[in-house]
């Protein structure tokens, strides 16, 4: 088991390294010059060259990569071209906001999905099952930015119950756990949790129905176990796969909420990414993508470590 | 046998749906204390369904039972869920065809045995674990204490089936239901498991109902056999009698289609056709369409089950020792 853990940790390193390489290259493969956005078109050539040298854009790509990586390892992700602030600070405060949103959406979505999917799996072809299936299809299919706009129209514009934009009153960026701030969470969380809710419902339903049809469930009943005791066996059988799906979904929530954060002007990593793209703020873009990718790698690592703890068949090293 | 341990009378099992499937159509038999009954037949003849009915294991919402099942004084079909849970595992337990699938893959086999012990016997965790290890040792699993912590996928097929037997016998049942427990095993391991079962059965005075499609296995373990076809018992009797002189044409066909060593070079007989659709049974004898002795009567009505001198058969043209139906002989002479 310990060997497996160490191995898995070692595997994570080259993955993380290739993530940094891809992040770095993606930005440089994209057409256009990173300085175009900040330097006026009629700026004299020597000013442009001086700026290029200042940002290191005049060096060959491998050199740029190694220097960028070296600085990134020490926590220095460069300076934002647009704002002049350190990228690391911008990204970290944005990621904090995104984690807040994603984790709350995940907790609610996963819990509801597990409940619905579990009941649907037990009551195969029953009313709850049909309802859950319909709901999960809708959840997966509805574009969530569209849903976000519809919710905003209904609950903010028409009913005026909930704020439509931002993460706090007066555009405040500091998060506080009070009623006033939580009101700002409701619509983005509701929008964001729809997809994981749909996917988790569908997955758990299929897993539970499949497990219940297995011989060993009959064998457990045959030895006189109560439904509750059998349920615990089912949970432990379903958990490894469910965890893997949930880990992936949480990863998507962390990185994929770009549209939802833009719709609700939520000052998170998606919003930041959107800003960075439109302002052609390369260091910021790189830094944000890098941090999001590393979070994804970390989440997968956690799932891979948890799974064999539950399922002994995965413990072979 | 004035008071048999198990008495099944006129059992019917129907699975609902748009096309109801009549899996068991009026099965009656008795098994005495310490007796082993072999339930023989092809796949889909209702033998496993009959067996599982003795624990009422079929999904309650889709299954309709008829008739009566009595085991050790318990009326199985009228038990409450709670009574049923107390009965399962303690009075009657079961071993399955494929032990790899019958064990929960994410719990150690020891845990699964002590789980049953704690369910039915007043023992705490430590005592249950010690008892489970004793049982694993009893079914001849080497290094039982270490194997207690093994997971199903870490054991061989034979070891898994031994562990399954240990689990089934952990709460000292009176009746053991065996659903083709040797079918998934190698021939050499099969014999070991059969010998172990026979030994434990004698030691504990167990009654066993042993479902199999393998006549060789049935001969090895059973005192009596009942042959099933299309959800009915069509012939029953002591093992030697059935092997020596099958009375039903189907039993004869089944015996003739068995591969034995002395048959090299001779043609293997097969029963023509396939078993009937259980959702659409013929009005007469279910075997008539495949039977070389079938007459108009066979196609029109179901033969009554008649017993004589410990033997029973349901056939209008039951065979004598020469393998010719008496009625046919009468016509020829």
pLDDT, average across residues B91-98? 92
pLDDT, average across residues B210-239? 91
The structural domains of chain A, ordered by start, are 87-314 (1.10.3720.10)
Q: Are the beta carbons of B104 and A222 separated by less than 8 Å?
A: no
Residue A284, pLDDT > 90, answer no
pLDDT, average across residues B184-189? 87
pLDDT, average across residues B207-218? 91
DSSP string, A16-57: HHHHHHHHHHHHHHSSS-TTTTTS-TT--HHHHHHHHHHHTT
| CA-wise closest residue to B149 among B108, B180, B190 | B108
Q: Are the beta carbons of B151 and A216 separated by less than 8 Å?
A: no
| Bridge partners of residue B63, in order along the sequence | B15
**pLDDT range class, residue A238, cuts 50, 70, 90:** very high
**pLDDT range class, residue B27, cuts 50, 70, 90:** very high
Residue B277, pLDDT > 90, answer no
The average confidence (pLDDT) of chain A is 84
Is B251:B242 a contact under the CB 8 Å cutoff?
yes
| B25 vs A84, residue with greater confidence | B25
**pLDDT for position B108:** 93
**pLDDT for position B333:** 34
List the Cα angle A203/A271/A301 in 5-degree steps: 45
Q: What is the rounded distance in angstroms from the CA atom of residue B284 to the CA atom of residue B313? A: 15
pLDDT, average across residues A109-123? 91
Element holding B183 (H helix, E strand): none
Q: What is the ipTM of this complex?
A: 0.85
Is A253:A105 a contact under the CB 8 Å cutoff?
yes
pLDDT, average across residues B231-260? 86
- Coil vs helix vs strand at B89: coil
Query: Hey, CA dihedral for A105, A109, A110, A111, is it positive or negative?
Result: positive
Q: Which residue does chain B place closest to A223, by CA atoms?
A: B89
| A78 vs B173, residue with greater confidence | B173
Burial profile B101-113: b = 16 or more Cβ within 10 angstroms, e = fewer: bbbbbbbbbbbbb
**pLDDT for position A115:** 93
| A104 and chain B in contact, CB less than 8 A | no
**pLDDT for position B329:** 41
| A228 and chain B in contact, CB less than 8 A | no
CATH 3.40.50.300 range(s) for chain B read: 6-91+173-332
SS3 content of chain A, % helix, strand, coil (to 5): 75, 0, 25
| Architecture, CATH, for domain B6-91+173-332 | 3-Layer(aba) Sandwich (3.40)
| A158 vs A209, residue with greater confidence | A209
Q: Which residue does chain A place closest to B108, by CA atoms?
A: A312
**pLDDT range class, residue B323, cuts 50, 70, 90:** low
Residue B93, pLDDT > 70, answer yes
**pLDDT for position B330:** 40
Residue A235, pLDDT > 60, answer yes
| B103 and chain A in contact, CB less than 8 A | yes
Residue A96, pLDDT > 90, answer no
Those residues whose C-beta lies under 8 Å from the C-beta of residue B82, and which sit 6 or more positions away, are none
Q: Are the beta carbons of A222 and B88 separated by less than 8 Å?
A: yes
Q: Are the beta carbons of A225 and B120 separated by less than 8 Å?
A: no
**pLDDT for position B328:** 44
- Strand order of the β-sheet with B92-95 is B92-95, B175-179, B207-212, B36-40, B224-229, B232-238, B311-313, B306-308
Instruction: Give the one of A221, A222, A310 whose C-beta lies nearest to B106's C-beta.
Output: A310
Q: Are the beta carbons of A313 and B98 separated by less than 8 Å?
A: no
Element holding B264 (H helix, E strand): none
**pLDDT range class, residue B17, cuts 50, 70, 90:** confident
Q: What is the rounded distance in angstroms from the CA atom of residue B158 to the CA atom of residue B315? A: 40
Q: Which residue does chain A place closest to B149, by CA atoms?
A: A312
**pLDDT for position B321:** 55
pLDDT, average across residues A124-147? 86
**pLDDT range class, residue B259, cuts 50, 70, 90:** low
Record the tokens describing residue B333, joined without a space: 């002479």
Between B81-85, B264-268, B294-298, the lowest mean confidence (pLDDT) is in B264-268
**pLDDT range class, residue A147, cuts 50, 70, 90:** confident
Between A175-184, A186-195, A296-305, B297-306, the lowest mean confidence (pLDDT) is in A175-184
**pLDDT for position A281:** 81
- Cα distance from A239 to chain B (closest Cα, Å)? 10
Top residue of A222, A308, A309 to mutate, by most chain B CBs within 10 Å, is A222
In chain A, which residues have their Cβ closer than 8 Å to the Cβ of B87? 224
Tell me the pLDDT tens digit for each residue of A200-213: 999 999 999 999 98
**pLDDT range class, residue A37, cuts 50, 70, 90:** low
Count other C-beta atoms under 10 Å from residue A30's C-beta. 12
| B98 and chain A in contact, CB less than 8 A | yes
**pLDDT for position B297:** 87
Q: Which residue does chain B place closest to A218, by CA atoms?
A: B57
| B149 and chain A in contact, CB less than 8 A | no
Residue A28, pLDDT > 80, answer no
| B269 vs A231, residue with greater confidence | A231
Across the A/B interface, how many CB contacts are shorter than 8 Å?
A: 76
**pLDDT range class, residue A174, cuts 50, 70, 90:** low
Q: What is the rounded distance in angstroms from the CA atom of residue B209 to the CA atom of residue B4? A: 13
In chain A, which residues have their Cβ closer than 8 Å to the Cβ of B89? 222-224
In chain B, which residues have their Cβ closer than 8 Å to the Cβ of A236? 104, 106-107
**pLDDT for position A282:** 80
Residue B194, pLDDT > 90, answer yes
pLDDT, average across residues A254-281? 83
The average confidence (pLDDT) of chain B is 87
In chain B, which residues have their Cβ closer than 8 Å to the Cβ of A229? 115, 119
């Amino acid at each position: 088991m310990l060997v497996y853990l160490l191995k898995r940790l070692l595997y994570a390193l080259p993955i993380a390294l290739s993530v940094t390489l891809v992040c770095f290259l993606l930005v440089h493969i994209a057409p256009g010059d990173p300085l175009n956005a900040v330097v006026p078109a009629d700026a004299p050539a020597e000013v442009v060259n001086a700026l290029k040298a200042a940002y290191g854009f005049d060096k060959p790509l491998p050199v740029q990569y190694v220097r960028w990586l070296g600085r990134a390892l020490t926590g220095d992700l460069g300076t934002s071209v647009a704002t002049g602030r350190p990228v690391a600070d911008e990204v970290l405060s944005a990621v904090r906001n995104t984690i807040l949103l994603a984790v709350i959406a995940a907790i609610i979505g996963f819990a509801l999905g597990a409940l619905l999917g579990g009941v649907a799996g037990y009551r195969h072809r029953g009313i709850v099952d049909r309802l859950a299936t319909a709901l999960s299809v809708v959840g997966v299919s509805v574009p969530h930015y569209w849903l976000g706009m519809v919710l905003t129209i209904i609950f903010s514009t028409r009913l005026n119950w909930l704020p439509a934009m931002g993460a706090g009153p007066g555009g405040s960026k500091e998060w506080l756990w009070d009623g006033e701030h939580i009101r700002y969470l409701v619509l983005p969380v509701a929008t964001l949790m729809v997809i994981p809710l749909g996917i988790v419902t569908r997955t758990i339903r299929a897993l539970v129905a499949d497990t219940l049809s297995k011989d060993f469930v009959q064998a457990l009943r045959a030895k006189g176990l109560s439904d509750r005791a059998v349920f615990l066996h089912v949970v432990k059988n379903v958990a490894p796969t469910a965890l893997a799906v949930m880990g992936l979904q949480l990863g998507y929530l962390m990185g994929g909420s770009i549209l939802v954060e833009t719709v609700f002007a939520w000052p998170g990593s998606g919003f930041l990414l959107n800003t960075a793209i439109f302002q052609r703020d390369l260091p910021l873009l790189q830094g944000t993508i890098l941090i999001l990718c590393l979070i994804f790698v970390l989440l997968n690592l956690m799932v891979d470590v948890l799974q064999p703890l539950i399922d002994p068949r995965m413990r072979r090293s | 046998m004035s008071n048999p341990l198990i008495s099944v009378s006129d059992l019917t099992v129907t699975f609902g749906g748009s096309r109801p499937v009549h899996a068991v159509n009026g099965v009656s038999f008795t098994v005495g204390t310490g007796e082993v009954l072999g339930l023989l037949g092809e796949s889909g003849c209702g033998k496993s369904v009959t067996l599982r009915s003795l624990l009422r294991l079929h999904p309650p919402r889709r299954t309709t039972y008829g008739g009566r099942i009595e085991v050790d004084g318990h009326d199985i079909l009228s038990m409450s869920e709670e009574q049923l849970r107390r009965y399962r595992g303690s009075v009657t337990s079961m071993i399955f065809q494929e032990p790899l699938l019958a064990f929960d893959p994410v719990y150690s086999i020891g845990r699964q045995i002590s789980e049953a012990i704690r369910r039915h016997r007043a023992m705490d965790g430590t005592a249950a674990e010690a008892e489970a290890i004793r049982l694993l040792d009893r079914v001849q699993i080497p290094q039982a204490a270490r194997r207690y912590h093994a997971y199903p996928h870490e054991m061989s097929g034979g070891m898994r089936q031994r562990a399954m037997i240990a689990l089934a016998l952990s709460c000292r049942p009176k009746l053991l239901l065996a659903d083709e427990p040797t079918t998934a095993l190698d021939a050499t391991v099969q014999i070991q498991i059969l010998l172990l079962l026979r030994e434990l059965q004698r030691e504990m005075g167990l009654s066993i109902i042993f479902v199999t499609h393998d006549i060789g296995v049935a001969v090895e373990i059973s005192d009596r056999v009942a042959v099933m076809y299309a959800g009915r018992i069509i012939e029953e009797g002591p093992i030697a009698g059935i092997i020596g002189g099958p009375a039903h044409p189907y039993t004869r066909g089944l015996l003739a289609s068995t591969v034995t060593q002395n048959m090299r070079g001779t043609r293997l007989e097969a029963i023509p056709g396939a078993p009937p659709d259980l959702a659409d049974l013929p009005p007469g004898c279910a075997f008539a369409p495949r039977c070389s002795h079938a007459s108009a009567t066979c196609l029109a009505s179901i033969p009554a089950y008649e017993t004589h001198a410990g033997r029973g058969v349901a056939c209008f043209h039951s065979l004598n020792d020469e393998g010719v139906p008496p009625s046919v002989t009468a016509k020829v002479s």
